Amino acid sequence: MPELITPTGRLHSSWLAARDEWPPGAHQDGTGLRLAPEADLDSPEVFSVWVERLREQADRSVAVGEGRVHATHWWIVEDDSYLGAIDLRHYLNAFLLDVGGHIGYSIRPSARRRGLATWALGAVLPEARAFGLDRVLVTCDDDNVGSARSIERNGGVLEDVRTTDAGVKRRYWITP
């Protein structure tokens, strides 16, 4: 049975195995990789620094960098195996309103087609409601049929499909 957990250094090996399934340079939405230090995440020490940054991003008393918003990160795990990530952005900036939305997620390639994205999105919606969000924007690439289905299964109502600097995006609103 999958669960959502706070990112932790103890899953370093499993996280590395998942990372290696992705093509080099692939964007993994919801992972917070943009918060990773410049050094290599293969190092347990560097990995621990990144995990701490992920945790800090949820703390509204800690300033976030320019262009960033506070967000809560969870890892999708099963039996101590990292399967993916999901994050809840506490509010939207202009980029997130246009492209990224309140919630981002990604599932490692070997764990796809099991309903994990649908399940994880459904599990995070009550968290969004607890933050006081009365509606949540979730986006996906226009050609990502699986992600669109996950969003729609969680009540997503398509607002529009738009061309952005990050490609063509489907933008859905969900009432948590």
Tens digit of each residue's pLDDT (9 = 90 or more) over 124-139: 999 999 999 999 999 9
Backbone angles phi, psi at 122, to 5 degrees: -65, -35
pLDDT the model gives residue 38: 72
pLDDT the model gives residue 155: 98
Model confidence pTM above 0.85: yes
Please state the rounded mean pLDDT for residues 106-134. Answer: 97
Whole-number Å distance between alpha carbons of 140 and 81: 25
pLDDT the model gives residue 119: 98
pLDDT the model gives residue 35: 83
State the first-to-last Cα distance of the chain, in angstroms, to the nearest integer. Answer: 23
